[in-house]
Amino acid sequence: MSLTTGLTTGSMLKLMIEAQEADIWIDLNNDGIYQEEEAVVSMGVDAFYPVETQQISIYGKVKYLRCSNNSISSLTVSTNPELEKLSCGINQIKALDLSGCKNLKMLYCALNQLESLDLTANTLLDDLDCSHNQLEALDVSKNTVLTSLLCSSNLISHLLVHNNPELTVLACDVNELTALDLTQNKKLIRLNCYSNALTSLDLSQNQQIKYLSCSNNGLSALDLKTVPLLSYLTCDANDFEELDLSHCPLITYLSCAQNYLMTLDLSQNPLLEKVFCNTNRLTSLDFGNNPKITELWCFENQIRNEAMGQMIESMPLLQAGNNQPFYGDFVVINTTNPEEGNICDKNQVSAAKAKNWKVYDFNGSQLAMHPYEGSEVSLSDIAHPLAGRVYPTPFKDSFVIVVADEWIGKTAILYNAAGNLVSRHELHEPVYRIDASTLPVGHYFLQIGTQGVKLTKSND
């Protein structure tokens, strides 16, 4: 076997070699002559060898070679038919000939520059990781004993796994798949197929699945009736209007954010610990049957007033012990989003804190997230919009209120996106201008009596 490395002279080459016979040696100076110091004396452990030349050969009947992260641009292994395991990830390999490796059982070649991979001669292959390459196609039809297939982050548009009935793990995420037939993979336990272009996913023959990640596709529905062992589900950024979890009593982790859900029934999921259901159309949530929950992200929904209070009342009182943290994380609002429909007032925040929940404002991103104290007013109590009476929208330095006769003598109240009071203005004139030059750019709410309007300040 031989390899070409980009490591400079004097650098250390890290290799791990296993072999049944003890006559393995590495030609470190590429002279084709065995020297005693070139013998491999440490089998099955990482060893470091000084680079004297960029072309290095390995002699002997090697069963396992690990040469990952060595700046290797080419690797020749087909001259060693005894090879059973090869780990050559994190290199710059553009082509890999495995035609002479008929005993190969494990191949890890992730994070290279492979544009093709011929596995037709490797019928004993059991474990394959070719993720993070440039593969446009992958034929595993001859690898009938394959149990683990990781081919994430490639350019694959078509993947057939019907000849792989032993598969228990399949990760084909971040590709260009438009369809995925899993009807012959009845032993599948873990499936990652997120970030593709799937419009449907049939799990009717996959009753052993425990882990499913199918986010960022074009799925309009997800039938989970046949996966009763499911414990982990991420299905964010699809087109779901409903999600039936009643047949998944073992689920502990749920992420269904960025869909179009109007309801979410969690009453049959008593083991739930983490729920991420933000950015939907939910008007209520009930956690009365979820005593183990410790993390909840539900911002960017339509939960407010009594529904918000009822949701918080249903959330468990968290106490130390029983493998449960003393505090839970409750991300209830995103004040940077003008379309935010949730409203959680100060009293409701206090009620959540009394149950040992830390309440957060998402604030545009997870990195910017900070504690939330609650709004000073329940803005959803506003009965009527202030349509056409406030301009310009958006505003820059000021805005004008065209005052209706019945508003004369009333107070216009300006709130920020968090629902906190910014200013009050007594209306005594038919046209009233509010100076907003000192206000930060962002979203605001103007209330006059039972009427209100959302406003935006911009620099444009």
Q: What 3-state DSSP class applies to 405?
A: helix
Read off the pLDDT of residues 118-162 as tens digits, 9 standing for 90 and up.
Answer: 999 999 999 999 999 999 999 999 999 999 999 999 999 999 999
The token duo for 230 is 């499911």
Read off the pLDDT of residues 196-212 as tens digits, 9 standing for 90 and up.
Answer: 999 999 999 999 999 99
pLDDT for residue 445: 84
Sign of the dihedral through C-alpha 192, 217, 262, 330: positive
Among 70-79, 131-140, 342-351, 421-430, the range scoring the smallest mean pLDDT is: 421-430
Read off the pLDDT of residues 44-54 as tens digits, 9 standing for 90 and up.
Answer: 899 999 999 99
Q: Cα 234 from chain centroid?
A: 8
Q: In this model, does residue 80 exceed pLDDT 60?
A: yes
Beta strands in 243-307 (DSSP E): 253-255, 274-276, 295-297
Name the nearest CA neighbour of 238 among 260, 254, 211. Answer: 260
Widest CA span in the chain: 102
The token duo for 311 is 């949701």
318 vs 256: CA distance, rounded Å: 24
Q: Cα 94 from chain centroid?
A: 29
What domains can be seen in the chain, in order of their start residue? 1-85 (no CATH), 114-261 (3.80.10.10), 269-374 (no CATH), 379-457 (2.60.40.3080)
User: How big is the chain by its Cα radius of gyration, in Å?
Assistant: 30
Contact call for residues 407 and 427 (beta carbons, < 8 A): yes
Report the amino acid identity of residue 272. Answer: L
Q: Cα 360 from chain centroid?
A: 20
The token duo for 268 is 């049959």
Provide the 10 A C-beta neighbour count for residue 235: 24
Among 7-11, 18-22, 354-358, 387-391, the range scoring the smallest mean pLDDT is: 387-391
Return phi, psi of residue 435, to 5°.
-75, 120
Read off the pLDDT of residues 263-278 as tens digits, 9 standing for 90 and up.
Answer: 999 999 999 999 999 9
Q: In this model, does residue 250 exceed pLDDT 80?
A: yes
343 vs 307: CA distance, rounded Å: 10
Name the nearest CA neighbour of 104 among 93, 94, 117. Answer: 117
Q: In this model, does residue 436 exceed pLDDT 70?
A: yes
pLDDT for residue 42: 83
Sign of the dihedral through C-alpha 36, 37, 41, 43: negative
Q: What 3-state DSSP class applies to 141?
A: coil
Name the nearest CA neighbour of 277 among 305, 245, 246, 309. Answer: 245
For residues 389 and 162, the model is more confident at 162
Averaged pLDDT, 231-243: 98
Taking 3-state DSSP, the helix, strand and coil percentages for the chain, each rounded to the nearest 5, stand at: 5, 25, 65
Read off the pLDDT of residues 329-375 as tens digits, 9 standing for 90 and up.
Answer: 999 999 888 788 899 999 999 999 999 999 999 999 999 999 999 98
Scanning the structure block, which residue is given the tokens 């050969």?
57
143 vs 145: CA distance, rounded Å: 6
Contact call for residues 220 and 243 (beta carbons, < 8 A): no
pLDDT for residue 37: 81
The token duo for 287 is 């956690």
128 vs 121: CA distance, rounded Å: 14
Q: What 3-state DSSP class applies to 49?
A: strand
